[in-house]
Amino acid sequence: MNFSDLAGRRVAVWGHGREGRSVSAHLSALGIPHDVVVPDEEDGPDPQVAYGDRARSLLLAAEVAVKSPGIPVTSPLYGQVVAGGTVVTSLTDLWMSDNAPRTVAVTGSKGKSTTASLLSHVLDHAGRRASLRGNIGTSVLEEPDPPSELVVMELSSYQAQSLTVSPRVLVVTSLFPEHLTWHGSEEAYYRDKLNAAAHGPEVVVVPGSDDALLARVRAAAPGAPLLATGRHTVGVTEDGAVVWADGTRVDRDDLPLLGRHQAVNIALAALAAQHLGVAPDVVAAAVRTFRALPHRMERVPSADHRTWIDDSLATAPEAVVASLASLPDDRVALLVGGADRGLDFTPLTDYLARRPDVTVLLVGPAGRRVHDTAGVGRLFASFADAVTWARSGDNPASVVLLSPGAPSFDEFESYEQRSAAFRAAAAAR
């Protein structure tokens, strides 16, 4: 279904945040009448639970509802709307239905923002007129003038769930459990995430070293051609360099991103660019000029003798393991914890058992659960207490790493606010 299919049908725009407002404005520009469904004022401000009788009647009366990503498919109202016969779609699917041939989408539990940004950077460097859009913050409706030749789209699991057409090229960076409340279960999360591969992509680019990911992609999209990183395409050597099959190479010290997991992301972006016709030497030159995104293994200014690293977007245990693995030779003080969403911390605690050089500083409900169930780390009453100790002479580490493995909402309004508190502690004299 595309936007033109909505003409002459009764349409409801479900949600009026940033994406809902852009959909409503676009429909108005196309001359397509529609109802805007917002939370009933008397039911409170939370858009996930505050839809009452008025909203329900509008959605059930609609032939098509364009749902915002923030509304979970596990909500009772979503089930009622689908059961009532309303077709539920999304901005992503409406747009993709018209633009799939020029779209390279990047999805994954972690690494998608960096990989998408790097791929867009490489394509621009090669003169391919790419634009970066999607979950990274720019609406797909914001078309540059002249229109871009290629759209690199960061694709969340929320957005992928609704797709009925796949992008031309899909890059899958990693897979581990995330957003389980929204999706309903771990298996539903994987199904919804990999729905992006299930509708005829030209190719799916995957990390060749991740057997579990490869198996899930094959199961979700048995007919999709796979293009895997490795020594026959673009791979990562034992010493952390990115190497092409023709011998083109970017050594580890020349890579713009810290850690082997980031080298894999670079290889994925390079392989996707090569599939799109960009020569290895051009990709390699572009890689060297890329700069890391904020809050992803980002070194921040510090006033003590230690290195402070902001990895506050690592909000799953597996992401923390990858970040720690990029610092194998450093004595690390690791800040872990925050709001508890019930994720399994065993991958992290198993890894920490092999890294006695890591001093673990635990905060928040998630940190308390790690402390109580695994018996690791030192529990602090607040984030402020933890970073104060990290700055003190009691801390034996040379690196202080904020890689929380959990959201920030126990103490902070956002991950940016938590990051700001970390940076302020690093710079304090």
Q: What is the pLDDT of residues 216-242, one digit of tens each?
A: 999 999 989 999 999 999 999 999 999
Residues 353-366 have a mean pLDDT of 96
Residue 151 sits in the same domain as residue 79: no
* Confidence band, pLDDT 50/70/90 cuts, at residue 47: very low
Q: Tokens for 396?
A: 């034996």
Judge if the upstream peptide bond of residue 47 is cis by omega within 30 degrees of 0.
Answer: no
* Confidence band, pLDDT 50/70/90 cuts, at residue 275: very high
Backbone angles phi, psi at 118, to 5 degrees: -65, -45
Residue 335 sits in the same domain as residue 410: yes
Residue 27 sits in the same domain as residue 82: yes
Q: Is the pLDDT of residue 17 over 90?
A: no
Counting residues of the chain whose pLDDT is more than 70, the rounded percentage is 97
DSSP result, 331-342: -EEEEEE-S---
Q: Is the pLDDT of residue 9 over 70?
A: yes
At 50 the pLDDT is 64
**Domain contains 416:** yes
Residue 76 sits in the same domain as residue 117: no
Q: Is the pLDDT of residue 42 over 60?
A: no
**Domain contains 77:** yes
3-state secondary structure 91-127: HHHHHHHHHHHHEEEEECCCCHHHHHHHHHHHHHHCC
H or E element at residue 247: none
Residue 117 sits in the same domain as residue 173: yes
* Confidence band, pLDDT 50/70/90 cuts, at residue 387: very high
Q: Which residues contact 347 (CB under 8 A, 6 or more apart)?
A: 176, 317, 318, 321
286-334 pLDDT, tens digit per residue, is 999 998 878 888 889 999 999 999 999 899 898 899 899 888 889 999 9
Residue 32 sits in the same domain as residue 75: yes
Residue 151 sits in the same domain as residue 195: yes
At 41 the pLDDT is 57
Most confident among 86-95, 134-143, 321-330 (mean pLDDT): 86-95
* Confidence band, pLDDT 50/70/90 cuts, at residue 178: confident
Give the Cα separation of 419 and 429 in Å (integer): 18
| Mean pLDDT of the residues in the chain | 93
**Domain contains 138:** yes
The CATH number for 205's domain is: 3.40.1190.10
**Domain contains 407:** yes
Give the Cα separation of 123 and 150 in Å (integer): 8
Residue 223 sits in the same domain as residue 347: no
Residue 149 sits in the same domain as residue 34: no
Residue 81 sits in the same domain as residue 103: no
**Domain contains 20:** yes
Domain that holds residue 375: 298-427
Give the Cα separation of 243 and 252 in Å (integer): 10
Place of tokens 């999360």: 189
The CATH number for 379's domain is: 3.90.190.20
How many C-beta atoms lie closer than 10 Å to residue 98's C-beta? Answer: 13
Residue 275 sits in the same domain as residue 137: yes
Domain boundary among 268, 288, 308: 288
What is the number of structural domains in the chain?
A: 3
CB 89 within 8 A of CB 1: yes
At 107 the pLDDT is 97
Residue 70 sits in the same domain as residue 47: yes
Helix axes 364-374 and 346-353, enclosed angle (nearest 10): 60
Q: Cα(first)–Cα(last) distance of the chain, in Å?
A: 58
Q: Is the pLDDT of residue 44 over 50?
A: no
Q: Give this prediction's pTM.
A: 0.84
Q: For residue 285, which of 243, 261, 312, 250 has the smallest C-alpha distance?
A: 250
For residue 360, the cross-strand partners are 334
Q: Tokens for 244?
A: 């092409």
Task: Please list the alpha-helical segments (H only) found in 198-303.
Answer: 211-220, 260-275, 280-288
Residues 261-285 have a mean pLDDT of 97
At 139 the pLDDT is 86
Counting residues of the chain whose pLDDT is more than 90, the rounded percentage is 82
Domain boundary among 288, 306, 324: 288
At 137 the pLDDT is 65
Backbone angles phi, psi at 71, to 5 degrees: -90, 115
Give the Cα separation of 7 and 328 in Å (integer): 58
At 392 the pLDDT is 96
CB 258 within 8 A of CB 298: no
- Weakest mean pLDDT among 11-25, 30-44, 367-381: 30-44
**Domain contains 293:** no
Q: What is the dihedral of CA 358, 360, 361, 365, to 10 degrees?
A: 150
**Domain contains 332:** yes
Q: For residue 15, which of 91, 118, 102 has the smallest C-alpha distance?
A: 91
C-alpha distances in angstroms, 109 versus 189, 315, 381? Answer: 10, 10, 30
Residues 188-208 have a mean pLDDT of 96
Q: For residue 121, which of 285, 336, 357, 364 has the smallest C-alpha distance?
A: 285
β-strands 150-154, 203-206 pairing: unpaired
The CATH number for 57's domain is: 3.40.50.720
Place of tokens 């391919």: 128
Domain boundary among 260, 288, 316: 288
Q: Is the pLDDT of residue 45 over 50?
A: no
At 43 the pLDDT is 45
**Domain contains 29:** yes
Q: Tokens for 298?
A: 């980002």
At 326 the pLDDT is 84
